[in-house]
Chains A and B, each alone.
Chain A
Amino acid sequence: MTSLTAKNLSIGYEERLIVEGLNVSFSKGMITSIIGPNGCGKSTILKTMARLHKAKSGAVYLDGREIHETPTKEIAKKLAVLPQSPEAPAGLTVYELVSYGRTPHQSGFSRLSPHDRKMIDWSLDVTGLSDLKDREVDELSGGQRQRAWIAMAIAQETEILMLDEPTTYLDLAHQLEVLQLLGKINQDEGRTIIMVIHDLNQAARFSHEILALKNGRIISQGTPFDVMKEDIIKGVFGIDTHIIADPRTGKPAMISYDLIK
């Protein structure tokens, strides 16, 4: 099983330090949601732990190996990361995009092996895109497009899947569609999913663990029941909430919130 851990991580842009001395570890086989107000460093932490951004100091370990000292292709076989609102070139088909997910497993002239094709077909199937595979990505609806990118990321066949705001710009039905898909991938494949998400109720409903951040520091980490507490949410977001157990799912849900007066 693959593990991802950060030790004494400090991250910043230019002179400004966003995260200082962060220690965090993500549980295997779980869905973890990272929540927090704008500018708290959620995306920055996700990107740094996926080696898309370089830390000022400290280190990230994937399976006990420092990620900046591991060949990037080797990491790509264990960890896939989907940045926020990626863009596909015009004219690229869904099948072609998903096939690019096989990149870390290929070499030379990059011909697709039978196993590559099997993984691509499986990814298209799981994401419900089999019928759309010859369509161009930029012709799809927002929800379909996001599923196509997720299909690419899962075709990469990695144990860890990281997503930066996978539901942004989607309407409620499409948001649920994407989250249910991630839940299914986690359940059926046992893949570890780490995502940045804004909606607290969705975080509580779909994840096993929540990491709440403020100003680059961890305020709380634990199950939705541990984190979704009125005083914790007040400390993180500065809002006054009323949290109950969702009658349908039993998970904590926020039914009313307001700014603190």
Chain B
Amino acid sequence: MNSSNRKFIWTILILSAALLAAGILSLSLGAISIGPLEVLTAFLGKGTSQQELILYNFRLPAIVLAILVGLGMAASGTILQGITRNELADPGILGINAGSGTAVILYITFFQTAAGSLTTMGAFILPLIAFVGALLTGALIMLLSWKKGMDSIRLILVGIGVNAGLSAIIIAQQLRLEPNDFVKAMVWLSGDLWATQWIYVGALLPWMLLLCVYTLFKAHTLNVLNLGSQVSLSLGISATRERIILLIAAAALAGLGVAAGGGIAFLGLIAPHIARRIVGPKHQRLLPAAALIGALVLVLADAIGKNLLTPTEIPAGLVVAVVSVPYFVILLMKSK
């Protein structure tokens, strides 16, 4: 086994251990504190019924959800950076998150109030609406950037434009909402990981798994696309066709994430960035490492947001943004 393979395996092991530790830490924190050891004993079936209720019914599904959303956002960002050959691409910057947000806001303003939609039956429709919004935005970006094939720079520029337009629509629509709905929509758009019940985990998990396996299957294609359209074609890979397929996969991953977690910005940008520095540009290694980093960052951000200013909860998406912006600035200053 060569050194880069060994490094990759160690990276995955360390990240998995860190994710497990972050999960246990997050499980033990909250209004009712349960020590990490008690968490472990509770999972061995030796906790009190109150502890079990809190852990199984409230905290664990929230953490599993944060992991899934983090994986999805990071994988989506990695794909988008791969197909655009640009490390600034991510579902937030390309407008895919805003597309989900727009769909949700339009749904709330035209069909019912947010108060209703975020609690009862509407809660099942909301993720679907967000998902469809992401896919439609992906299709829109593709359509607008199409000019006898798909050029990566044009894709990014069009995405940034679409993002600006959709963000404007979101604000315009938000201003028309009732104050109560306005706050709810605002919190949702900042990424508050609201869908903290097993039923949502169940709805998300199979799709996430399917998309993640598919993305890993496409790892080699992403490697080749990284060499540019002409080299890809020379190697027998139709860059335009693969970019379309992968853009849909990235939009779907982000859409699922936004549906369950709200608009989490920057995660899709920084996770692949950090991963690339550790394991290099090969997607067979980059995708798993970025996904684990995305999950780890979101679990930690969620724990910080919930416990830093108790009883006020800060949406995890905002915590991610607060942590990522300095990282991003340092990165820009360091880059040549």
Contact = CB atoms under 8 A, between A and B. Distances in A.
A88 B280 CA distance: 12
Contacts of B148: 54
A89 B148 CA distance: 25
Given A88-B227, A103-B224, A76 B234 contact: yes
Nearest to B277: A91
A203 B222 CA distance: 36
A123 B217 CA distance: 27
B227 A50 contact: no
A109 B236 contact: no
A78 to B, nearest CB: 10
A72 B281 contact: no
B228 A77 contact: no
Interface string B212-232: 000011011001101110110
B280 A91 contact: yes
B42 interface: no
A86 B276 CA distance: 21
Given A90-B281, A91-B281, A52 B235 contact: no
Contacts of A156: 234-235
B233 interface: yes
Interface size range of chain B in the complex: 20 to 34
B237 interface: yes
Most A C-beta atoms less than 10 A away, residue of B85, B224, B230 = B230
B178 to A, nearest CB: 49
B118 to A, nearest CB: 41
Interface string A99-120: 0110110101110000000000
B238 A72 contact: yes
A79 B233 CA distance: 11
Contacts of B234: 50, 52, 76, 79-83, 153, 156
A54 B148 CA distance: 10
Contacts of B282: 92, 96
Contacts of A96: 223, 282
A109 B217 contact: yes
Contacts of A79: 234
Interface string B2-18: 10100000000000000
Interface string A9-43: 00000000000000000000000000000000000
B124 to A, nearest CB: 36
B236 A77 contact: yes
A109 B215 CA distance: 11
Interface residues of A, number: 37
B235 A89 contact: no
Contacts of B228: 83, 86-87
A197 to B, nearest CB: 18
Contacts of A75: 236
A52 B230 contact: yes
Contacts of B238: 72
Nearest to A83: B230
A7 interface: no
B230 A100 contact: no
B236 A104 contact: yes
A22 to B, nearest CB: 21
Interface string B247-263: 00000000000000000
Residue in A86, A90, A101, A110 with the greatest tally of chain B CB atoms within 10 Å: A110
A91 B273 CA distance: 12
Interface in A102-153: 103-104, 106, 108-110, 134, 153
A73 interface: yes
A103 B235 contact: yes
Contacts of B219: 109-110
Contact of B85 (A72, A89, A106): A89
Given A86-B228, A91-B276, A92-B281, A103 B233 contact: no
A89 B281 contact: yes
A249 B219 CA distance: 48
A38 B75 CA distance: 44
A51 interface: yes
Nearest to A162: B234
A47 B226 CA distance: 19
Contact of A83 (B217, B231, B237, B281): B231
A73 B224 contact: no
Interface string B192-218: 000000000000000000000000110
A104 B224 CA distance: 11
A153 B219 CA distance: 20
Given A52-B233, A72-B236, A91-B281, A110 B226 contact: no
Contact of A51 (B217, B220, B233, B237): B233
Given A77-B236, A87-B227, A97-B227, 16 more contacts: A52-B230, A72-B236, A72-B238, A73-B236, A73-B237, A76-B236, A81-B230, A82-B231, A86-B227, A86-B231, A88-B226, A88-B227, A89-B227, A101-B235, A103-B237, A109-B219
Interface of B: 2, 4, 85, 148, 216-217, 219-220, 223-224, 226-228, 230-231, 233-238, 276, 280-282
6 contacts: A74-B236, A83-B234, A87-B227, A103-B235, A109-B216, A134-B2
Sorted nearest first, the 6 A-B pairs with minimum C-beta distance are A76-B236, A73-B236, A110-B220, A104-B236, A83-B230, A103-B235
